[in-house]
Structure 1
């Protein structure tokens, strides 16, 4: 389901974690993870966020597209799969495609 500002406000409430902050935490967890299974779960989660246009600006700010691209060169097949999935989800938006081509 796609989201919007109103839906996000309803879901997070007044004192909840913003989407940008939550995605930043996921990126930090991925970068600090040492076990492949943990990285796989986090990357799959990030790839799921990449399908919703609401998240595109946040993902760009956090360089998540670069993270997806980095993962497709990993020896771990799951990281490759989730990296490719994240890239595919991001490529719906023209600006995301342009960003990827510049990398």
Structure 2
């Protein structure tokens, strides 16, 4: 016979709590500078924090529960790094010569 419902619930909670989670790295200087750069380009702060994840490395971690269909992030065009923005930057001349 099984140990019962309470035992199963306790075991599930224990398993969930032992899952590897991301470690918040928003205190690091490079992320502080990134936030300043984003803010200067009209990015509105979200509930995401930079984190380091075991096995996959750096990424963004939600600080709140997410709902299905919820927008996670919206970046203004001024924050996007595209081939067009690179070509228009000071690097453009070097890249077009290199082709």
TM-score, structure 2 as length reference:
0.22
Rg larger in structure? 2
Using structure 1 for the length normalisation, give the TM-score: 0.21
